[in-house]
Amino acid sequence: AQSVSQHNHHVILSEAASLELGCNYSYGGTVNLFWYVQYPGQHLQLLLKYFSGDPLVKGIKGFEAEFIKSKFSFNLRKPSVQWSDTAEYFCAVNNNDMRFGAGTRLTVKP
Amino acid sequence: EAGVTQFPSHSVIEKGQTVTLRCDPISGHDNLYWYRRVMGKEIKFLLHFVKESKQDESGMPNNRFLAERTGGTYSTLKVQPAELEDSGVYFCASSPRQGGTANTEAFFGQGTRLTVV
């Protein structure tokens, strides 16, 4: 079955630490890839997306993600996290239907 | 431009009752999705409309759930009769249809938190 896997359920970091959240998918063919974020009390919003071209995509707030086709991965990274990055992060794949991973809760300690 | 709006934001009902959730997508968006998230678990796909047609309803849990999108504008999701396990946050999202596919960014509503007691 097609699926989206996020490896980390809850990540706790101190401010200024580097972040990498894993995402793997099992869809074949062409896919569009997304990372969404949900800050406390807010609704889901787009962080970044990959449709084609440069596999390293940059999003808002200093986030980036790299699409590695051979590994079916789209990991999210940020070199130095801030307390305001505390949120839940969802990887999503669109192959004519948008499907999500289980989400990773990120807690950044000040 | 108005975003995706959902109503109500929170609903508490008793087991066996009926609840209807509403989603108003962004104007002009052909694609409309319903998702559900049970606390701490994944955002689970329920179904996908393209205009008024159900493109994929493989995620609908059972026949107590009925989704409609008459006229291809707003959508409703009715749960009848509600069970305890139906509790969760129900998200709606919409996206434009580009190039004959649905492979575009989806915009989300704030969700409806349903609590069945």
SS3 of B9-59: the string is CEEEECCCCCEEEEEECCCCCCEEEEEEECCCCCEEEEEEEECCEEEECCC
Mean pLDDT across B99-111: 75
State chain B's mean pLDDT as an integer.
91
Between B38 and A66, where is the model more confident?
A: A66
CB atoms within 10 A of CB B97: 15
Mean pLDDT across A97-108: 91
Which residues have a Cβ under 8 Å from the Cβ of B19 and sit 6 or more positions away? B11, B13, B78, B79, B80, B82, B114
Residues β-bridged to residue B43: B37
Which residues of chain A have a Cβ shorter than 8 Å from any chain B Cβ? 30-32, 34, 36, 42-46, 49, 51, 90, 92, 94-103
Q: What is the pLDDT of residues A9-60, one digit of tens each?
A: 899 999 999 999 999 999 877 888 999 999 988 888 999 999 889 999 999 9
Which residues of chain B have a Cβ shorter than 8 Å from any chain A Cβ? 33, 35, 41-45, 48, 55-56, 91, 93, 95, 101-111
pLDDT of A69 above 60: yes
Report the pLDDT value the prediction gives residue B102, as an integer from 0 to 100: 53
Report the pLDDT value the prediction gives residue B49, as an integer from 0 to 100: 93
Measured between alpha carbons, how far is B72 from B28 in angstroms, rounded to an integer?
A: 9
Q: Label residue B26 by pLDDT band (50, 70, 90).
A: very high
What Rg do the C-alpha atoms of chain B give, in angstroms? 14
Query: Shortest CB distance from B43 goes to which of A30, A90, A96?
Result: A90
